[in-house]
């Protein structure tokens, strides 16, 4: 059972510079800018791709469009979920292509207006540093903002 996701403030209309879609992955509160999110989907059927990188969970069909599903746990080098666990999809658009980020649980839109984004802590794992834009200190925990272009760059 997971704790409820904290909220900074209710979202205000059109304040996209300070709004993030929040989600939990392996108990970590993460987020991406709301303007990068195309949509959020319930668990979907994902077709594995033979010989794909481990981070690529497979492909899903989104109303006739093929979308690459990226396993966020694998991408962030976090423990795997038990086999058969169903995860939510946060669909983002990057370089004219859609990607689905597989997350454990989707939260709410967090508005951090009036709060300063802190730089990535120097103690953060180098792998995480490479895909993180910064952090916000919320009431009870850190809110890690992911850098979507870096996250989707799979060398």
What CA–CA distances, in Å, run from 57 to 2, 33, 136?
24, 23, 29
How confident is residue 147, by pLDDT bands cut at 50, 70 and 90? very high
> Order of strands, edge to edge, in the sheet holding 88-94?
37-41, 88-94, 97-103, 65-71, 56-62
What is the average per-residue pLDDT within 53-59?
A: 96
CATH number of 16-152: 2.40.50.180
Give yes or no for a contact between 146 and 31, defined as CB atoms under 8 angstroms apart. yes
pTM given for the model = 0.85
Domain definitions of the chain by residue range? 16-152
Q: Which two tokens stand for residue 106?
A: 């989707």
The pLDDT of residue 45: 94
Give yes or no for a contact between 57 and 69, defined as CB atoms under 8 angstroms apart. yes
The pLDDT of residue 139: 85
The pLDDT of residue 14: 46
Q: Which two tokens stand for residue 18?
A: 């300070």
d(CA 49, CA 137) in angstroms, rounded, equals 38
What CA–CA distances, in Å, run from 109 to 5, 29, 37, 71?
10, 12, 11, 21
Q: Could you tell me which residue, 57 or 114, shows the higher pLDDT?
A: 57
- pLDDT tens track for 3-50: 445 545 444 444 556 899 999 999 999 999 999 999 999 999 999 999
- pLDDT tens track for 73-112: 999 999 998 887 889 999 999 998 999 999 999 999 999 8
Q: Would you call 28 helix, strand, or coil by DSSP?
A: strand
- pLDDT tens track for 110-119: 998 778 889 9
Most distant CA atoms of the chain, gap in Å: 46
How confident is residue 55, by pLDDT bands cut at 50, 70 and 90? very high
């Amino acid at each position: 059972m997971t704790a409820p996701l904290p909220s900074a403030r209710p979202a205000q209309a059109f304040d996209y510079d300070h709004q993030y879609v929040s989600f939990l992955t392996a108990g970590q509160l993460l987020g991406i800018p709301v303007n990068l999110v195309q949509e959020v989907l319930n668990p979907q059927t994902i077709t594995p791709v033979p010989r794909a990188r481990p981070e690529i969970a497979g492909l899903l069909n989104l109303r006739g469009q093929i979308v690459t599903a990226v396993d966020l746990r694998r991408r962030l080098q976090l423990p795997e979920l038990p086999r058969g666990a169903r995860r939510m999809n946060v669909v983002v658009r990057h370089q004219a292509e859609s990607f689905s980020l597989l997350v454990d649980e989707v939260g709410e839109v967090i508005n951090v207006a009036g709060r300063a984004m802190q730089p990535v802590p120097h103690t953060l794992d180098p792998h995480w540093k490479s895909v993180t834009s910064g952090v916000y200190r919320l009431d009870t925990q850190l809110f890690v903002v992911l850098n979507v272009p870096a996250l989707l760059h799979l060398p």
